[in-house]
Chain A
Amino acid sequence: NAGVTQTPKFQVLKTGQSMTLQCAQDMNHNSMYWYRQDPGMGLRLIYYSASEGTTDKGEVPNGYNVSRLNKREFSLRLESAAPSQTSVYFCASSDWAPTNEKLFFGSGTQLSVL
């Protein structure tokens, strides 16, 4: 049971380059999320998708776009990377069932923008 799978694990970009972070879950969850983690700031929500076909902005959406490709996959795109986007990115999913009220996280993508 793979859970939440993120690729790549590491990436180095130059300022202005673009890239897409991929995320897939095999738990049939409705909701999926993208967070960034920065020292001293905890996790901040970038975008989320409450269900297939919907996406909404979180706390820090500027500079990012997302696509909920299907129920399994939720990608995060940086169109023109900036050094301020150097961070660790986590994808998560949940169905928020009363008996299973939790987020399942991927192992993260460490992104450096030079």
Chain B
Amino acid sequence: GDSVTQMEGPVTLSEEAFLTINCTYTATGYPSLFWYVQYPGEGLQLLLKATKADDKGSNKGFEATYRKETTSFHLEKGSVQVSDSAVYFCALRNQGGKLIFGQGTELSVKP
């Protein structure tokens, strides 16, 4: 079945470091891909999305590119801040409309 696999956390970085969180997926056809972020004590909120191959989603300095050839949607940010500390979830919406989440990656940014 369709699935999403994320790199395991926690990921600990110093402020201003470069961030990559890997995400790969398995799905038939052309799913839509998402990154959601969950700040402590809150529900998830959409960070960015891409709906077709080679699309780049971006928001708040974060970027991810839909790579059909490698079935990947890695999240990147050039310079992280303490306020980026959160749990990040990669997700896909398949052709049947079902939304499938990865297991989440916790990011901790130290000053």
Contact pick for B46, options A50, A96, A103, CB 8 Å: A103
Interface-lining segment among A11-19, A40-48, A62-70, A77-85: A40-48
| Shortest Cβ distance from B1 into A: residue | A59
Q: Give chain B nearest CB distance to A36 CB in angstroms.
A: 11
A101 & B43 in contact (Cβ 8 Å cutoff) = no
> Once A and B bind, how many residue pairs between them come within 8 Å at the CB atom?
42
| Shortest Cβ distance from A50 into B: residue | B97
Any chain B CB within 8 A of the CB of A107? yes
| Shortest Cβ distance from A43 into B: residue | B101
Any chain A CB within 8 A of the CB of B99? yes
A105 & B43 in contact (Cβ 8 Å cutoff) = yes
**A50 — which chain B residues lie within 8 A by C-beta?**
97
Query: Total interface residues on B, using CB and 8 Å?
Result: 20
A101 & B101 in contact (Cβ 8 Å cutoff) = no
Contact pick for B32, options A40, A101, A106, CB 8 Å: A101
Any chain A CB within 8 A of the CB of B93? yes
Mask: chain B, 32-57; 1 = CB below 8 Å from A; 0 = not = 10101000011111100101000000
Cα distance, A106 to B42, chains bound together (Å)? 8
**A4 — which chain B residues lie within 8 A by C-beta?**
43
Told that A96-B97, A102-B34, A108-B42 touch, could you supply 12 new A-B pairs with CB distance under 8 A? A40-B103, A42-B103, A43-B104, A44-B101, A50-B97, A92-B44, A101-B93, A102-B49, A103-B44, A103-B46, A105-B44, A107-B42
